[in-house]
Amino acid sequence: MAVTYGYIRVSSRDQNEDRQLIALRELQIAEKNIYLDKQSGKDFNRPQYQRLMRKLKKDDLLYIKSIDRLGRNYSEILEQWRILTKEKGIDIVVLDMPLLDTRRGKDLMGTFLSDIVLQVLSFVAENERSNIRQRQAEGIAAAKARGIRFGRPKIPVPDDFEQIVASWERKEIPTKEAIGRCGMSASTFYLSIPMQ
């Protein structure tokens, strides 16, 4: 008997999946059949997606909210679509794009139109991923130009740091004492020593 599944993906742990989850619950998909990954869509090495792939059988039905939730790599989306529909023999419904519903139009014209729409949307998904990376890089460059620093703040070294290091290097004081006098962790102490 055919089973209905849902797949949800968000790019990071702090992104909210509620919009996708609500859409799938409205279709009354059993909670145990909804798979969620909080991971980038750059490839399909996602734990829940892989679990879902092992579960899917011929004539099952898979719902996704939009094609970019499946992935953001043009060639891999097309390949996964082929595996799902041709090799596994399941139907896929993309809720935000009614033309991508493999239950309809199984004739040559329907398949042709579905393939064209899939290719266009897959291209758009990958293109958006590239745009996100470019916008991120531009944002970081603009922030750096404004003097914003990224990463952990530098820990200031004490005024007598050079003397402490010199005493430590001459083995006049042990490492633990040198680090203690500087008031920093061992790794910060070693990283703060100027390279010779």
Catalytic machinery residues:
11
Distance in angstroms (rounded) separating the CA atoms of residues 103 and 90? 9
Count how many Cα atoms sit within 13 Å of the Cα of residue 139 in the half-sphere of its side chain. Answer: 7
CA 140 to chain centre: 19
Q: Is 91 helix (H, G, I), strand (E, B) or coil?
A: strand
Distance in angstroms (rounded) separating the CA atoms of residues 14 and 32? 23
Q: Compute CA distances 100 → 3, 26, 97, 150, whole Å.
A: 19, 19, 6, 42
Cα–Cα nearest to 66, from 44, 95, 38, 91: 95
